[in-house]
Amino acid sequence: MFASEPVSMHRTRFYVTIGYCAAFVALGLTTASLGPTLTDLATNTRAALAQISFGFTARSLGYLLGSFLGGRLYDRRPGNPVMGATLLLLALCMAFVPLIPVLWVLIAVLLLVGMFEGVVDVGGNTLLVWVHGVKVGPYMNALHFFFGVGAFLSPIVVARTLAASGGVTWAYWILALLIAPVAVFVLRLPSPPAPAETSSTPESTSTTVARQTNALLVMLIAVFFFLYVGSEGSFGGWIATYAKATGLGDAATAAYLTSMFWGALTLGRLLSIPLAARLRPRMLLVGDLVGCLLSVLVVLVWSDAPAALWIGTFGAGFSMASIFPTMISFAGRHLTTTGKTTAWFFVGASSGGMLIPWLIGQWFESSGPRVTVFMILASLILDLAMFGVIIRFVRKPGTTD
């Protein structure tokens, strides 16, 4: 995979994989930092919560732009310098966030934060496939597990720093200081080569048809990610509000419920690492999607039972854990993974993460809190159906997906 001596190839691959996992810890640290600091940032900018919440929208829009930009950069430039430089810029933006007293400037910086997050996210998922090829499954699950580690640690860093200093400035500075050495480490690593370019000779009809088929498969997988990430974001983002609105928990209970969802997702990603080394991606994905549906049905059928809500929440988080990385691995078996194809996957994912939770918000008060569960259930049913379409699309005699 690398232009290096055979004796050092495995060691190089190991260090590069460690670098990407560290980068995803850093990504998790930044992704989970905005929510716990939102009220303090509103105070810094003298803005209402309704105004400062546009920071989420700006960061999501930046992430979308970063996905497009990252896809092009990784196809045209050595990957590790791109990722390392982006992490340095991300650390710099994080250091400036708590110092900004003007709302529109803060929104602009959060847009940049989202853009840099998108570049790092696309890079990790693309470059890891270039490093490990068809054997990427367990490594991809490990990559996303380390993102969960960062997302789990970030609120703890913020909470402890707030208790010690009374403000968010040092919280953001500590996060920036944690990201910086990861950036330097990634910059020093050799970059994996991109997939071989296609021949410059005139295309045959079969080559043209193959490219059109691949483009359609990319779009189908992007729709799959749209539905899945919309479901995950809706469950993680709305389950606390659902619990309070249905009287199944107070504010503290709802907060713990949300923590359990993300904790179950992180635990599931850890346990999925050995499973991905032994099971085909198709089997994992079917099991995960069925587990998600059963978990949501538990919440829906026993809607008045707090225990059912807790069981369903844990089951949903645990079942959702390996869907994203396993689908990336599945795609790598049937497509030449490039920055551009991965970028389209993330465009679908980020679009679903913005639209489906937003739709729930539009109907939550008018239709009642149960619309949350119905929307998530509908998205998961459509996602399972979409996966069936993808399986039929890629199925060939002798395939082992």
What gap in Å lies between CA 9 and CA 213, rounded to an integer?
A: 34
* Most confident region among 32-46, 103-117, 261-275 by mean pLDDT: 103-117
- Look at residue 304 and give its three-state secondary structure: coil
Identify the weakest region by mean pLDDT among 3-17, 261-275, 278-292.
3-17
CB-facing half-sphere around the CA of 74: CA atoms within 13 A: 36
Amino acid at 219: M
The confidence score (pLDDT) of residue 151 equals: 80
CB atoms near residue 244 (< 10 Å)? 17
**Token code pair at residue 172:** 């953001």
> Fold match between 8-187 and 208-394?
yes
What gap in Å lies between CA 170 and CA 306, rounded to an integer?
A: 38
Quote the percentage of the chain above a pLDDT of 70.
Answer: 89
* Most confident region among 29-38, 40-49, 134-143, 314-323 by mean pLDDT: 314-323
Greater model confidence, 243 or 173: 173
| Chain segment 99-142, per-residue pLDDT in tens | 999 999 999 999 999 999 999 998 998 899 888 877 777 888 88
Beta carbons of 330 and 393 less than 8 angstroms apart: no
Per-domain boundaries in the chain: 8-187, 208-394
What gap in Å lies between CA 179 and CA 92, rounded to an integer?
A: 9
Identify the weakest region by mean pLDDT among 130-144, 155-169, 195-209.
195-209
302: DSSP letter: T
- List the CATH code of the domain at 208-394: 1.20.1250.20
168 pLDDT higher than 50 = yes
| Chain segment 170-200, per-residue pLDDT in tens | 989 999 999 999 999 999 999 988 776 444 4
CATH architecture group of domain 8-187:
Up-down Bundle (1.20)
Q: Torsion over CA of 14, 16, 18 and 19, rounded to 10 degrees? A: 170
In angstroms, how far is the first alpha carbon of the chain from the final one? 22
- pTM attached to this predicted model: 0.73
pLDDT band at 211 (very low <50, low <70, confident <90, very high): low
Identify the weakest region by mean pLDDT among 2-16, 124-138, 291-305.
2-16
What angle in degrees, to the nearest 10, is found between the helix axes of 339-367 and 323-334? 140
User: Mean pLDDT score of the chain, rounded to an integer?
Assistant: 83
262 pLDDT higher than 80 = no
Greater model confidence, 312 or 193: 312
Exposed e or buried b for every residue in 39-57, given b needs 16+ CB within 10 A?
ebbbebbebeeeebebbbe
